């Protein structure tokens, strides 16, 4: 991989093992402890990556879509019809793998 | 699936909603009559080689497999009909291949709905889709969806054709006595109790196994608190035949929903309800229909056929063999429904066990062979439990931080492919590979491809003198060999002699000789590799030989066939080697 490009293709050999490990990291921690553990994890991994261009790209992507997510978490959900579901489905099906 | 709607619930709801004209005829559950058996009038308890308890998918499969192996057996069930509601609906390719071996795969596939594609939604957006379709040149699809009651009915009818099973309805086991020389049972019936004996007992009596309780055997693992609502709904909808999974959909905020199509235009909808839901309130048909209409639109005409609220466990018995008693399916191990690993796992248990029982009962293998059931199926159960627990942890996060990771993964998955691998809406059932089995002979020669020793055989289109067929339909029930040759006529005389000697052994090995074209008579059964896929999928240079078990798993493979090596692998596959070393010790 060329420097300065964040790899967003699958790169973990055993993704489910990793995800389980991630959840286990937080087992029995308080919310405050979890936040600190996550922060330490990010700092460790950032140092390991080392490439500032890669880190900048990751920082940018991490901010994407947060406004929408917060909006949808509060308030009443809009009524959804089959058409809307289908439209949503077609709108993003190009992204499918 | 431990709660059922009361009879009449659905009809009453339909009346209130003014939906009295059903859109599809209801499935009529057949009622199988209790009949008094001769055993009940016997002065002394009658002894049978095999008794199976529980006529669900796994128990019925066990009875059919016994019949196919020529074992007469008795199947006891406490009720007198098939299951209520669709229950297990996803049957995986491997399961269909097992049913092909048992002579009933075709009927299931014809009735079932074939699907390969799944879509995952987060909120209002599709974040990705996946396709599980096996590569071309496989006899069976990745999955079919079929209501469990059809599966049970068809398996019961298959048992009738085979005529080796005494199927006794309304026979409830109330006592079990495990002895060194057999198992004693007390069975309650409408005519009162009777006693029977058997050489081997197969407990296929489900997640709340009576046999397990009677023996006082604990199941250990994780109990999940989240409740799920499951509904069978007839509706006129033009959704494609796909698995749709929603995380946090707008019509069911904060929870998840799963939609699956089944036969007869019946749809299965699962709603996650959370830990605090009131099951009785949630099962009210008005409430269920309101949820469905919120999902599909007010105008959608839906007819509720069955509804249930369930919780689940991921746990297992410490051992599945207890002397002469074998636990199979949910009686031995339970998983969450995500991943279709319950019924599919149980049917693989049976696939693993019955050929061993048949050989031991025929005196052709030592009882040590039966011990390999635990060695082979406990790791398989653990794999299913691990995968279904992880799916459950992803779908129902237990803490704020795990919910944050879950939602972050879903947000990233729409645009960044790496995150799709982390999304876990169910890791769908794949067959177990018997890696650590004492019966399997590891590779000594170099192979770069599957199926490795311990793996189930892979399919390929072939042709025999009788016409086009699939490789897997020719394998199984006995030991089979697969010899790959360039041309049938050019097989060395030495190989021909080995093949003849293998066919004549006390445990005969029926060798399929796979080549480009058939040229006259030779040893073994000649088959044509019409698409070259047998050779490709089995990494087969001419001269390659596979030894295959009665359950279609690879026992051993070589680049060059040698009689002594094959015999030694066969000895190992029958646990005869283990017996000898025990005697020495």
Provide the pLDDT for residue B32. 97
Rounded Cα gap, residues A40 and A31, in angstroms: 14
Provide the pLDDT for residue A61. 95
A75 in reach of chain B (CB within 8 A): no
Provide the pLDDT for residue A69. 67
Write out the H or E segment, with its range, that includes residue B359: helix B343-361
A42 in reach of chain B (CB within 8 A): no
**B341-356 residue pLDDT tens:** 999 999 999 999 999 9
Please enumerate in sequence order all residues whose Cβ is within 8 A of that of A91, keeping only pairs 6 or more positions apart, or say none: B125, B126
Provide the pLDDT for residue A67. 79
Is pLDDT above 50 for B6? no
Provide the pLDDT for residue B454. 97
B237, B250, B394 member nearest A80 (Cβ): B250
Is pLDDT above 80 for B19? no
**B436-491 residue pLDDT tens:** 899 999 999 999 888 999 999 999 999 998 899 999 999 989 999 999 987 766 78
Q: How far does the CA of residue A35 sit from the closest CA of chain B (Å)?
A: 8
Could B126 and A72 be called an inter-chain contact, meaning their C-beta atoms sit closer than 8 Å? no
* Mean pLDDT computed over B15-23: 46
Which candidate in A15, A35, A75 is best for mutational testing of the B interface (most B CBs within 10 A)?
A15
Three-state SS sequence of B148-215: HHHHHHHHHHHHHHHCCEEEEECCEEEEEEEECCEEEEEEECCCCCEEEEEEEEEECCCCCCHHHHHH
**B284-316 residue pLDDT tens:** 999 999 999 998 888 888 899 999 999 999 999
Could B402 and A23 be called an inter-chain contact, meaning their C-beta atoms sit closer than 8 Å? yes
Is pLDDT above 50 for B320? yes
Provide the pLDDT for residue B323. 97
**Which of chain B's residues have a Cβ under 8 Å away from the Cβ of A7?**
418
Predicted complex ipTM? 0.78
Burial class (CB in 10 A: 0-12, 13-18, 19+), B276: exposed
Rounded Cα gap, residues B470 and B468, in angstroms: 7
Is pLDDT above 50 for B278? yes
E-assigned strand segments in B311-387: 313-317, 321-322, 325-327, 333-334
Provide the pLDDT for residue B497. 94
Provide the pLDDT for residue B449. 81
Provide the pLDDT for residue B396. 93
B214 in reach of chain A (CB within 8 A): no
Is pLDDT above 80 for B175? yes
Residue B455 structure tokens: 């793996």
Lowest mean pLDDT among B209-218, B390-399, B514-523: B514-523
Identify the band that residue B514 occupies on the pLDDT scale cut at 50, 70 and 90. very high
Residue entry with tokens 């009720």: B79
A12 to chain B: nearest residue by CA? B418
Provide the pLDDT for residue B95. 98
B248, B253, B393 member nearest A23 (Cβ): B393
Provide the pLDDT for residue B540. 78
Number of H helices, E strands in chain B: 16, 28
CA gyration radius for chain B?
A: 25
**B30-69 residue pLDDT tens:** 999 999 999 999 999 999 999 999 999 999 999 999 999 9
Which candidate in A19, A32, A37 is best for mutational testing of the B interface (most B CBs within 10 A)?
A19
- Would you give the DSSP letter of residue A94? G
CA gyration radius for chain A?
A: 18
Taking the domains of chain A in order of start, what are their residue ranges?
1-75
**Which of chain A's residues have a Cβ under 8 Å away from the Cβ of B127?**
92, 95
Q: What is the mean pLDDT of each run of 10 residues along chain A (97 residues)?
A: 78 96 95 94 95 95 82 44 53 36
How confident is the prediction for chain B on average, in pLDDT? 91
A28 in reach of chain B (CB within 8 A): no
CA B365 from centroid of its chain's CA atoms:
26
Domains and CATH numbers, chain B: 9-23+225-311 (3.30.9.10), 38-116+128-217+317-392 (3.50.50.60), 461-584 (3.40.30.120)
Identify the band that residue B22 occupies on the pLDDT scale cut at 50, 70 and 90. low
* Mean pLDDT computed over B2-25: 45
Provide the pLDDT for residue B581. 46
Number of A:B CB contacts under 8 A?
110
Which candidate in B401, B402, B404, B427 is best for mutational testing of the A interface (most A CBs within 10 A)?
B401
Identify the band that residue B520 occupies on the pLDDT scale cut at 50, 70 and 90. low
Is pLDDT above 80 for B73? yes
Provide the pLDDT for residue A92. 40
Is pLDDT above 90 for B107? yes
């Amino acid at each position: 991989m060329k420097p300065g490009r964040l790899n967003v293709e699958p790169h973990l050999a055993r993704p489910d093992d990793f995800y389980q490990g991630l959840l286990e990291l937080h087992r029995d921690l308080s919310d405050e402890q979890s936040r600190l553990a996550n922060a330490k994890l990010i700092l460790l991994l950032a140092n390991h990556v080392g490439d500032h261009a890669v880190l900048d790209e990751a920082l940018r992507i991490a901010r994407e879509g947060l406004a929408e997510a917060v909006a949808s978490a509060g308030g009443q959900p809009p009524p959804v019809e089959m058409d809307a579901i289908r439209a949503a489905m077609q709108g993003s099906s190009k992204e499918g793998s | 699936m431990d709660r059922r709607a009361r009879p009449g619930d659905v009809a009453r709801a339909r009346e209130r909603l003014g939906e009295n004209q059903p859109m599809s005829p209801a499935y009529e559950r057949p009622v199988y009559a209790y009949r008094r058996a001769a055993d009940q009038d016997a002065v002394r308890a009658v002894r049978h080689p095999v008794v199976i308890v529980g006529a669900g998918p796994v128990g019925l499969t066990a009875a059919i497999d016994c019949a196919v192996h020529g074992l007469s057996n008795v199947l006891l069930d406490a009720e007198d009909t098939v299951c209520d509601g669709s229950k297990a609906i996803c049957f995986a390719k491997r399961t269909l291949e097992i049913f092909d071996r048992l002579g009933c795969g075709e009927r299931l596939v014809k009735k079932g709905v074939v699907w390969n594609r799944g879509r995952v939604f987060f909120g209002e957006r599709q974040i990705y889709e996946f396709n599980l379709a096996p590569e071309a040149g496989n006899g069976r699809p990745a999955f079919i969806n079929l209501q469990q009651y059809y599966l049970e009915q068809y398996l019961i009818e298959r048992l009738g054709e085979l005529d080796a099973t005494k199927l006794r309805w309304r026979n409830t086991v109330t006592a079990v006595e495990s002895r060194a020389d057999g198992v004693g049972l007390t069975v309650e019936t409408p005519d009162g109790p009777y006693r029977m004996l058997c050489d081997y007992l197969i407990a296929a009596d489900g997640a709340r196994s009576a046999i397990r309780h009677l023996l006082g055997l604990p199941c250990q693992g994780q109990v999940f608190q989240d409740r799920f609502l499951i509904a069978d709904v007839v509706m006129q909808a033009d959704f494609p035949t796909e698995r749709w999974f929603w995380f946090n959909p707008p019509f069911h905020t904060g929870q998840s929903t799963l939609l699956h199509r089944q036969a007869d235009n019946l749809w299965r909808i699962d709603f996650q309800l959370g830990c605090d839901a009131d099951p009785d309130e949630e099962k009210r048909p008005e409430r269920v229909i309101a949820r469905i209409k919120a999902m599909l639109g007010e105008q959608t005409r839906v007819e509720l056929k069955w509804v249930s609220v369930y919780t689940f466990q991921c746990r297992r018995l410490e051992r599945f063999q207890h002397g002469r008693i074998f636990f199979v399916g949910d009686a031995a191990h339970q998983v969450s429904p995500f991943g279709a690993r319950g019924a599919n796992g149980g049917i693989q248990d049976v696939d693993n066990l019955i050929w061993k029982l048949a050989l031991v009962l025929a005196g052709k293998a030592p009882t040590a062979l039966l011990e390999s059931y635990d060695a082979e199926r406990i790791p398989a159960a653990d794999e299913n439990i691990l995968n279904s627990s992880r799916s459950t942890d992803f779908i129902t996060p237990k803490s704020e931080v795990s919910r944050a990771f879950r939602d972050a993964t879903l947000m990233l998955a729409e645009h960044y492919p790496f995150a799709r691998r982390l999304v876990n809406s169910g890791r769908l059932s794949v067959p177990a590979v018997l890696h650590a089995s004492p019966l399997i002979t590891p590779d000594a020669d170099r192979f770069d491809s599957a199926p490795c020793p311990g793996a189930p055989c892979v399919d390929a289109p072939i042709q025999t003198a009788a016409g086009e067929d699939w490789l897997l339909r020719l394998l199984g029930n006995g030991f089979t060999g697969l010899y790959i040759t360039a041309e049938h006529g050019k097989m060395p005389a030495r190989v021909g002699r080995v093949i003849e000697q293998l066919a004549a052994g006390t445990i005969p090995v029926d060798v399929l000789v796979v080549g480009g074209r058939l040229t006259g008579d030779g040893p073994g059964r000649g088959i044509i590799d019409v698409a070259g896929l047998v050779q490709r999928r089995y990494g087969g240079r001419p001269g390659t030989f596979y030894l295959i078990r009665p359950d279609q798993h690879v026992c051993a493979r070589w680049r060059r066939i040698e009689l002594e090596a094959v015999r030694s692998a066969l000895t190992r596959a029958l646990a005869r080697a283990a017996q000898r070393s025990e005697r020495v010790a």
